[in-house]
Structure 1
Amino acid sequence: MKHLYLIILLSICFTACNKNSKNGTGSSAFLGGEIINPSDKFVIISRENKVLDTVDLDQNNRFLYKINPVESGLYTFSHGGEIQMIFLEPNDSIIFRLNNLDFDESLVFTGKGAKENNYLINMFLENERINNKVLRLSQSSPEIFEKHLDSIKSVLQENLDEFESKYTTSDLFKKIAQANIDYNFYAQKELYPFAYYGNNELKNLQSLPEDFYDYRSKIDYNDNDLKDYFPYYTFLKYNVNNLALQRHFNHSKDSVFNKRSLHYNLDKLEVIDSLVTNSSIKNFLLNFAALRYINSCNRIDDFTPYLNSYLEKSTSPENDAYIKKLVTSLKNLKPGNLLPNTIVTNNKNEELHLSDFIKRPTVIYFWSFNLKNHFLDSHKKVQELMKKYPEIDFIAMNIDKDDVNWVNYLQQYQYPLKNEYHFKNPDISRQILALNSINRVMLINADRTIINSNTNMFSKDFEEQLLGMLNQ
């Protein structure tokens, strides 16, 4: 009986889609499912990074949603911070079932269009396993690495060929499935020099076999069908990094890779601008590159030339406004400036200003429900540091929009509530503090002036920074 509801849903979907097909429309598709152990009361369905709808779960944690009209391609559904892609075509009627405690591994599809999606989710999981294996292989010489990589890829290609001989699928699905294999392995080759050579000196890049990157001549940097596909845009990010590095070495005196170099990051913007004409792909890559650089750079004076170059190339008003606000916020966080004020709440839901409880040298760190490992690791690390540095206050700040459950979450893991706070208006506070990475840690003097607004408690020199703060 427990699957009866899903069977009825499928029957409704098949009937509706068959009716569309008979009428010659074929413009809609159904997506539904059941979520075991849900963490939210809804799912979010998106296409091309735009939310189509937020769909409520019923009392049995199930939903059914009609997409009309539907365009063939990749969609996403998200729940409780987890995201997964679905391939949809007109007349599809897909039902999935998953356990939120084991999101990807438990995901199973049924209905029309299910075979394609079960193949893709299985490939997604297989890629995760393969990537761990390839990382170990990255310590081998280029020749041995390529040999093993080609062997692994050959097995996956045989599996795809067998799947396509067994089932009739669309050309678009075949393209996406092939891209899954190709771009995942291209990405591994782009990452290889960083894993094998470490700091990626110029002489080591030049020692790679001449044909190591021959596949680059086949890359379409403007593939609209793949622009939202994880293997494709992951490859593009790694590829751009390497091409920018080669460009940088060609016209600079540097021979050792420095990812925070202004000139290297300007070269990265130039590479993106020269290769990509598709506005969606270009703006994504530009925005990703800008966020990575700006959030890792502590040289405030370098922001202006970088921002000028970025704005010359970007065509997204929304991204431009965000990056400009971020740069402005970071300039306000310059060492020596007073810590910008923002409103927070404590475990009693009392409102305070952030500066109200800074009386001694202070470390401020951040956490979120959606990043459990970081939450646990950071709190464990702070417990160790508190014993070693009793003269320092360690302040934890929850950044989630939920203004109630953060206290319950801490209690669930039996963490003390002292020095735990929550942003009253998370969006505003995150903008004021330029908080785009959960790993960001801020060091503040007793007089509320900033020592460092962008450090990391897991970096090897963090305790040296703490000692420096105490010795000021």
Structure 2
Amino acid sequence: MKQFPLLFLLTLCFFSCKHDENNLSGNGFLGGEIINPNTRYVTISKDNTILDTVMLDQNNRFLYKITPVNPGLYTFAHGGEIQMVFLEPNDSIMFRLNTIDFDESLVYTGIGAKENNYLINMFVESERINHNILKLSQSSPEVFEKKLDSIKAEQTRKLNEFNIRYKTSPLFQKFAQANIDYNYYAQKEIYPFTYYGNNELKNLESLPKDFYNYRKQINYNDITLKDYFPYYTFLKYHFNNMALQKHFKHSQDSIFNRRSLDYNLDKLQLIDSLVQNDSIKNYFLNYSAIRYIGNSNKLEDYDTYLDTFLKLSTSSENNNSISSMVESLKRLKPGSTVPNTLVTNNEDEELHLHDFITRPTVIYFWSSSLKDHFVGSHKKVQELKLKYPEIDFIAMNIDKNEEQWIDYLQEYKYPIQNEYHFKNPEVSRQILALNSIYRVVLVNKDKKIISSNSNLFSKYFEEELLGMLNQ
């Protein structure tokens, strides 16, 4: 009997929600069953705005009514994983997935399921193809382009057959074709750096003259696709590549450093010149600023970069965030005292960071939403502990959940010694300018910062550790 309300609603919505081409303000239903759930809820969003947080029932199921449906892409998030679902008015979509194999296990049923199964299968196939293309990138430009063209042609053929068979809407056709096109474009933007292996002017100049002809038809202001993964992923690579070409034209460099101030200023100006839509422009300006500021150790360049960013960005929220990040990083310069932020241990005792820094210390960060980094960083630290017993390695969980982090450690059988959790994650992340979870902070026994922007996986990291010990 406890299952009755949900089953009743499912039956009701599937029989009552029929497609009506003239009804563009109809309702929709999104529901599902999650096997091996990581949390007790699912978050549903549209256009980067959270619509609701929906609790799972005792059978790990949920059902959510969207009134009215704004046609396009919605996202559902669970346990740090995110996936998109395509919804049109009067769709009633249910999915089933297993968190152990999130994307590959995802299957849709109901009205609108065919389109979504097509998109998720295309997403999984694209990931597989992209992996294989990395190997293909060692081929000459002519061989690479020929193979890439054949992949695109085959995907387009399958899509055309699907659209004819199921009489899909123009909006679905746009998303599906964009998946094919922008994955293709992204691979061509990435190619010269995987094939040649470095960022030299002569490598770009040696490409076939028509290699980037598709750039003439790029819409930099496609508001329909602005939150679509293939579209914005392509634009990230594209702006990097275009800024490099622009940088080479006016600089004396033939080889450049991605952390170069001039190159990153060129990228801001390029984005501003190509994108008119404020939402898209502000997203890429903000993304570029976070990448540059978070990876640069040259504090003396921050103000110059920030001045340009603030002149181009029209988002007060982004402007305040980037300005705060710059000020926080300035306070974290080498020689300053590490902020004494509030944390909790596995027994829920409140401590300050300074309470347990008594030796040279490495502070690294993790989140349950980034499983690969969580596992990789802990594995790396286990190796480093054996090589550098005179250094303390402190792991800091940044998640909002105050209990789940301990369960996560125990699930992977990691020791809880030197594991802590931010008491106020948002405040602590701002104080430490923690824009990237990959950042590592090195502190000496006197709690003075040696580096606030190291990386566990850098080939130079152990040199930094030796330098810290020799101070």
> What is the CA distance between 1:92 and its match in structure 2?
1.0
Residue 389 of structure 2 aligns to a residue whose secondary structure is coil
> What is the CA distance between 1:405 and its match in structure 2?
2.7
Deviations 1:43-93 (A, max 9, x none): 111111001111111121111111112111111111111111111111111
> What is the CA distance between 1:322 and its match in structure 2?
1.0
> What is the CA distance between 1:386 and its match in structure 2?
1.6
CA separation in 1, counterparts of 2:115 and 2:463?
A: 53
Deviations 1:202-248 (A, max 9, x none): 01110000000000000000011111100000011100001100000
How many residues are aligned here? 471
**In 1, are the aligned partners of 2:25 and 2:70 still within 8 Å (CA)?**
no
Residue 175 of structure 2 aligns to a residue whose secondary structure is helix
**In 2, are the aligned partners of 1:46 and 1:53 still within 8 Å (CA)?**
yes
Residue 437 of structure 1 aligns to a residue whose secondary structure is coil
Report the counterpart of residue 126 of structure 2 in structure 1. Answer: 127
Residue 199 of structure 2 aligns to a residue whose secondary structure is coil
Report the counterpart of residue 63 of structure 1 in structure 2. Answer: 62
Report the counterpart of residue 76 of structure 1 in structure 2. Answer: 75
Quick check: 1:424 aligned with 2:423?
Answer: yes
Identify if the C-alpha distance between structure 1 residues 25 and 305 changes in structure 2 by more than 3 Å, giving closer, same or farther: closer
Quick check: 1:13 aligned with 2:13?
Answer: yes
**Matched ranges for 1:74-223 at <5 A:** 74-223=73-222
**In 2, are the aligned partners of 1:6 and 1:33 still within 8 Å (CA)?**
no
Residue 153 of structure 1 aligns to a residue whose secondary structure is helix
**In 2, are the aligned partners of 1:10 and 1:111 still within 8 Å (CA)?**
no
> What is the CA distance between 1:131 and its match in structure 2?
0.2
CA separation in 2, counterparts of 1:374 and 1:231?
A: 23
Identify if the C-alpha distance between structure 1 residues 259 and 123 changes in structure 2 by more than 3 Å, giving closer, same or farther: same
Q: Unaligned stretches of 5+ in structure 1?
A: none
CA separation in 1, counterparts of 2:121 and 2:263?
A: 38
**Matched ranges for 1:311-322 at <5 A:** 311-322=310-321
Report the counterpart of residue 444 of structure 1 in structure 2. Answer: 443
Deviations 1:115-145 (A, max 9, x none): 1111100100000000001111111110010
CA separation in 1, counterparts of 2:43 and 2:27?
A: 18
**In 2, are the aligned partners of 1:99 and 1:106 still within 8 Å (CA)?**
yes
**In 2, are the aligned partners of 1:336 and 1:450 still within 8 Å (CA)?**
yes
Q: Unaligned stretches of 5+ in structure 2?
A: none
CA separation in 2, counterparts of 1:69 and 1:198?
A: 50
**Matched ranges for 1:33-48 at <5 A:** 33-48=32-47
Residue 17 of structure 2 aligns to a residue whose secondary structure is helix
CA separation in 2, counterparts of 1:6 and 1:401?
A: 30
> What is the CA distance between 1:321 and its match in structure 2?
1.1
> What is the CA distance between 1:25 and its match in structure 2?
6.7
Residue 90 of structure 2 aligns to a residue whose secondary structure is coil
**TM-score with structure 1 setting the length:** 0.96
Identify if the C-alpha distance between structure 1 residues 105 and 8 changes in structure 2 by more than 3 Å, giving closer, same or farther: farther
Report the counterpart of residue 355 of structure 1 in structure 2. Answer: 354
Quick check: 1:407 aligned with 2:392?
Answer: no
Identity in percent: 68
Quick check: 1:284 aligned with 2:283?
Answer: yes
CA separation in 1, counterparts of 2:9 and 2:20?
A: 18
Partner AA of 1:14 in structure 2:
F
Residue 373 of structure 1 aligns to a residue whose secondary structure is helix
Identify if the C-alpha distance between structure 1 residues 218 and 21 changes in structure 2 by more than 3 Å, giving closer, same or farther: closer
Residue 232 of structure 1 aligns to a residue whose secondary structure is helix
Identify if the C-alpha distance between structure 1 residues 148 and 5 changes in structure 2 by more than 3 Å, giving closer, same or farther: farther
> What is the CA distance between 1:373 and its match in structure 2?
2.1
**In 2, are the aligned partners of 1:187 and 1:238 still within 8 Å (CA)?**
yes
Partner AA of 2:50 in structure 1:
V
Identify if the C-alpha distance between structure 1 residues 329 and 107 changes in structure 2 by more than 3 Å, giving closer, same or farther: same
Residue 52 of structure 1 aligns to a residue whose secondary structure is strand
Residue 363 of structure 1 aligns to a residue whose secondary structure is strand
CA separation in 1, counterparts of 2:390 and 2:242?
A: 47
Runs of 4+ residues deviating >3 angstroms: 3-10, 20-26
Residue 55 of structure 1 aligns to a residue whose secondary structure is strand
